[in-house]
Structure 1
Amino acid sequence: MNTDLIQQPFIKKFPGDFSGNPVQRNTPKVLFATIPPAGFENPELIIFNHQLSGEIGLGKFEDKDLNFLAGTKLPENIQTYATAYAGHQFGNWAGQLGDGRAIFAGEITSADGKKTELQWKGAGATPYSRHADGRAVLRSSVREYLMSEAMYHLNVPTTRALSLAFTGEDVVRDMMYNGNPQKEKGAVVVRTAESFLRFGHFELLSAQREYTLLQQLADFTINNYFPEITSEGTEKYKDFFKRISERTADLMVEWLRVGFVHGVMNTDNMSVLGLTIDYGPYSMLDEYDLNFTPNTTDLPGRRYAFGQQGQIAQWNLWQLANALFPLINDEKFLEDTLNGYGDYFWASHDRMLCRKFGFDTLIEGDDEFFTNWQGLMHELQLDYTLFFSQLEKAKTGESLPKEAFESVSYAMLDDEKSSKLNHFLGVYQERLSKNIISRQESVDIMKATNPKFVLRNYLLYECIEEIDLGKTDLLKKLINALENPYQKLYPELCVKRPSGYDGVSGCSMLSCSS
């Protein structure tokens, strides 16, 4: 890889703390602190994303590149740093936060002019680690690498992963916060994004009343990442907020399309570019449940449950609106934009559901159809992904047999439930008859919208267990599957969660522990 091409435009633009001291502290009036990665004496590469490396301009991997990927030996041109931000966590103001276990390497420009930021995750403590060690364990690192790549191939906006490596160190974590800490293998991920800027970066500067720096950050973000914004003055910042709102709503709809539950939608985990960022206690849906949260820390309130994500995104946008108010200074505009978020979100959401069902357009009565479908999914505990795979098989005028859905239900389909399912399938056939397009065109829309393979937590659990034992066969298989999610490359991976994994930590529920 040609790491000599990496630049640091961010730290040249904004004031920072150059002490290189990882001790936790407040860093007022600055956006970042320069800090070297810890460096690991015995790193071992687990996997490298050759395709991504070529796309972003780093080129082919060589053995010597492992030192860079583990943050051990860096090129002389690189000045590494961590950024400060703030945030609301589980609805409460948390004050200054920051990159606690993420360290920036900088930015690289590909041959086509596309800029990409690179960042280590798990490479050591920073001033924002909040008394933690800045390390990451194997299980969280595997989950970040695989799921970010899975989301990319599902066509969901996301950060991506360049590499995954063992650090050669053990890290102590209390996985379920139950007073039972254990040693686990340490790992480090190099992840990439167009930008890692978050709602929390703006919240921090606004809370500190650093309005000049807030404006500079907004201008920097607009100039570099929102080329469609050409307005000036206050209108520029209005357009900026409106575009963030739209991108955020679009992202929420995509999460709902594929059945992704983030698990910890704090404002510091929200990207201003509308990317999925910070893969922690996430999950793909197994049985359909709007109240499902994969995060044990989110119980019992279920603030970040699957069906709450659109609403929580709007709440988070309210906090961003407060942060940007000094630049916009128009309360009515912000209120109108935030109130309009709901209309935009639900219109996009319903169009998405139309595609999942193979409808050519939204018509009167579809809202009732979608509501009844949700009730059926809940009652019959139908698998979200597999349900639509079965529904694609429905031919015009013909209803699918009950047996087609027995393999995708987590409940017993007794006579009463079967009757409700058959009734719904009949209603679905009636709705399909109102399409203008042919059934084949309808199925083509469904196949392009509904994945056949999703990266379920039990598969990740099995993969992590194997990697821990030095095996990578399942890892390679999962990567092949996730790179082709709209095909059924491995039928044995396109099944519902085995009952033996019900309630197993790491398979259905997870904690925020890294």
Structure 2
Amino acid sequence: MNIEQITQPFLKIFPGDFSNSPLPRATPKVLFATTETAGFEQPELIAFNEALSTEIGLGKFEENDVNFLVGSQLPKNIQTYATAYAGHQFGNWAGQLGDGRAIFAGEIINCEGKKTEIQWKGAGETPYSRRADGRAVLRSSVREYLMSEAMHHLGIPTTRALSLSLTGEDVIRDIMYNGNPQYEKGAVVARTADTFLRFGHFEFLFAQGEHKLLQDLLDFTIDNYFPTIVPSNPCKYKDFFETVCRATADLIVEWLRVGFVHGVMNTDNMSILGLTIDYGPYAMMEEYNLNFTPNTTDLPGRRYAFGRQAQIGQWNLWKLANALHPVINDEKFLENSLRNFGVYFSEANNKMLCKKFGFNEFIKEDELFFSNWQSLMQDLEMDHTLFFNQLEQIKADTDVKDHFSPITYTALNEEKLKKLKDFIDQYQYRLRLNSISKAESLELMRTTNPKFILRNYLLYQCIEEISNGNTAMLLKLTQALEKPYQEIFPEFSVKRPPIYDNIAGCSTLSCSS
């Protein structure tokens, strides 16, 4: 790989702490601290994303590159560092946070001039590790490697995974925080993004009263990552905030489209570009439930439940608006932008649902239709993804009970069956109001509704196999996630087997996951 071409403009532009100490500490008035990676002596490559590596300008993998992919034996041009940020966690101000498990290599520019940041997750302790060891375990690393790539191929903005490697170390973790720590295999994910800047970077500077540095960061962000905003425009900071609002709304609509639940929508986990970032206790929703949260840390309040993600996105944007106020200095504008978020989200969400059902446009009656659909899905505990796959195959003579029973997590009694039949009648009536053909309607559905989603029980199986030295399922899942709108492996397009109910690290997850 062309690792000698990695540069570090962030270090040249912003103030930082160059003491190169991993000891946890406060670093006021600076945006980063240099640090050293752990330097693993016996890493083992598990997976390498050659297509991504070529795309971003790193090129093909060579035998010794595994050392770079875990942050070891780095060339002299790379000074590793971690950034400081702050944030609201579960609705509470958490103060200074920062990259506790992430260490930056820098950025690379491909032949088309596109910039990509590269960092390692799990490569060692940083000044922001907060009493933790900066390591990552195999299960969380597999989950991030596969899910970030799955989201990319679903067409959802996300960070991406370059590689997955074992470190050769064992790491102790208490997976459910219940007093039962165990040793697990250590691992590192090398991941990429246009930028890893978060809401929390701006909150950090605002909280410290560093308004000049806050404006400098805004200028840097606009100049480098927002090409549609004219840097000389006096309204550029307002344009920036409105763009972030729309990108956040668009991202959450995409999450709802495929049933993704992030699990930890703290402000420090919100990308300034509207990327899905920091894959922890996430899940692809199986039985439809607006209150579903995969994160045991989020119980019983369910702040980050599936159906609350748009509300939380808006709440997080309020906190970002508060942080940007010293530079934008227009309360009325910020309040209007935040109110408009709800309007924009609602319109975008309705358009998305229309595509899922094969409707060419949204009509007023669809509000009630969508409400009835949500009620049906929750009452019958129907699998979110499989429901739409079955809906595509509905015909006039379809036996509704036989057709939908395999995708429900509860038995279809007479009352529930009647509710389902009534809904299908409503749906077929609504289809007749379309101004497009049946074939065009089906094509709309097939390009919107995935056949394959990366379910937690599949990830659980994969992690178990890799732990035992078998990567066959990893390769199979990688094939499936690269073409999620095709049914490559029919055995993956089934509802969750009951044997995986209530298994730690599968149906129940924590922030350690």
How does the TM-score come out when normalised to structure 2? 0.99
Amino acid at match of 2:195: S
Which stretches in structure 2 are left out of the alignment for 5+ residues?
Answer: none
Q: Which residues of 2 match residues 15-414 of structure 1 at below 5 A?
A: 15-230=15-230, 232=232, 234-395=234-395, 401-414=400-413
1:424 and 2:427 matched: no
1:488 and 2:487 matched: yes
Q: Which residue of 2 aligns with 1:509?
A: 508
The 8 Å contact of residues 244 and 273 in structure 2, kept in 1 or not, is answered as yes
Question: Hey, what's the Cα distance between the residues in 1 that align with 2:436 and 2:233?
Answer: 47
Moved more, 354-363 or 230-239: 230-239
Amino acid at match of 1:468: S
Question: Hey, what's the Cα distance between the residues in 2 that align with 1:399 and 1:212?
Answer: 66
| Secondary structure of the structure 2 residue equivalent to 1:407 | helix
Spell out, residue by residue over 1:428-457, the C-alpha distance to the aligned partner (whole angstroms, 9 max, x if none): 000000001011100000000000000000
| Secondary structure of the structure 1 residue equivalent to 2:312 | helix
Q: Which residue of 2 aligns with 1:472?
A: 471
Q: Which residues of 2 match residues 450-465 of structure 1 at below 5 A?
A: 450-465=449-464
Q: Which segments of structure 1 move beyond 3 Å, counting only runs of 4 or more?
A: 231-234, 397-400
The 8 Å contact of residues 159 and 276 in structure 1, kept in 2 or not, is answered as yes
The 8 Å contact of residues 234 and 328 in structure 1, kept in 2 or not, is answered as no
Question: Hey, what's the Cα distance between the residues in 2 that align with 1:394 and 1:431?
Answer: 14
CA displacement at 1:399 relative to structure 2: 5.3
Q: Over aligned residue pairs, what C-alpha RMSD do you find? A: 0.9
| Secondary structure of the structure 2 residue equivalent to 1:21 | coil
CA displacement at 1:72 relative to structure 2: 1.1
The 8 Å contact of residues 223 and 231 in structure 2, kept in 1 or not, is answered as no
The 8 Å contact of residues 234 and 327 in structure 1, kept in 2 or not, is answered as no
The 8 Å contact of residues 102 and 120 in structure 1, kept in 2 or not, is answered as yes
Amino acid at match of 1:194: D
Question: Hey, what's the Cα distance between the residues in 2 that align with 1:467 and 1:79?
Answer: 32
| Secondary structure of the structure 1 residue equivalent to 2:450 | coil
Amino acid at match of 2:337: T
The 8 Å contact of residues 381 and 410 in structure 2, kept in 1 or not, is answered as yes
The 8 Å contact of residues 222 and 231 in structure 2, kept in 1 or not, is answered as no
Spell out, residue by residue over 1:41-99, the C-alpha distance to the aligned partner (whole angstroms, 9 max, x if none): 11000010011001001111011101101111001111110000000000000000000
Amino acid at match of 2:57: G
CA displacement at 1:394 relative to structure 2: 2.2
| Secondary structure of the structure 1 residue equivalent to 2:136 | coil
Q: CA distance change for structure 1 residues 435 and 400 in 2, over 3 Å: closer, same or farther?
A: farther
| Secondary structure of the structure 1 residue equivalent to 2:191 | strand
Amino acid at match of 2:466: I
Question: Hey, what's the Cα distance between the residues in 2 that align with 1:416 and 1:247?
Answer: 42
Spell out, residue by residue over 1:99-132, the C-alpha distance to the aligned partner (whole angstroms, 9 max, x if none): 0010000000111111100000000000000010
Report how many aligned residue pairs link the two structures. Answer: 513
Question: Hey, what's the Cα distance between the residues in 2 that align with 1:354 and 1:3?
Answer: 45
The 8 Å contact of residues 261 and 284 in structure 1, kept in 2 or not, is answered as yes
Q: Which residue of 2 aligns with 1:439?
A: 438
CA displacement at 1:23 relative to structure 2: 0.3
Question: Hey, what's the Cα distance between the residues in 2 that align with 1:53 and 1:366?
Answer: 44
Moved more, 294-303 or 224-233: 224-233
Question: Hey, what's the Cα distance between the residues in 1 that align with 2:198 and 2:357?
Answer: 34
Question: Hey, what's the Cα distance between the residues in 1 that align with 2:22 and 2:366?
Answer: 55
Question: Hey, what's the Cα distance between the residues in 2 that align with 1:375 and 1:298?
Answer: 24
Question: Hey, what's the Cα distance between the residues in 2 that align with 1:508 and 1:286?
Answer: 10
Question: Hey, what's the Cα distance between the residues in 1 that align with 2:407 and 2:2?
Answer: 48
CA displacement at 1:401 relative to structure 2: 2.4
CA displacement at 1:232 relative to structure 2: 4.0
Amino acid at match of 1:100: G
Question: Hey, what's the Cα distance between the residues in 2 that align with 1:212 and 1:277?
Answer: 27
The 8 Å contact of residues 288 and 382 in structure 1, kept in 2 or not, is answered as yes
Percent identity, aligned pairs only, is 68
Amino acid at match of 2:460: Y
Amino acid at match of 1:447: R
| Secondary structure of the structure 2 residue equivalent to 1:170 | strand
| Secondary structure of the structure 2 residue equivalent to 1:63 | coil
Question: Hey, what's the Cα distance between the residues in 1 that align with 2:472 and 2:496?
Answer: 20
Spell out, residue by residue over 1:375-428, the C-alpha distance to the aligned partner (whole angstroms, 9 max, x if none): 000000000000000001124x55552211101000001111111101100000
| Secondary structure of the structure 1 residue equivalent to 2:185 | strand
Amino acid at match of 1:428: Y
Q: CA distance change for structure 1 residues 348 and 400 in 2, over 3 Å: closer, same or farther?
A: farther
How does the TM-score come out when normalised to structure 1? 0.99
| Secondary structure of the structure 1 residue equivalent to 2:447 | helix
Amino acid at match of 1:440: A
The 8 Å contact of residues 20 and 35 in structure 2, kept in 1 or not, is answered as yes
Amino acid at match of 2:470: K
Question: Hey, what's the Cα distance between the residues in 2 that align with 1:72 and 1:231?
Answer: 39
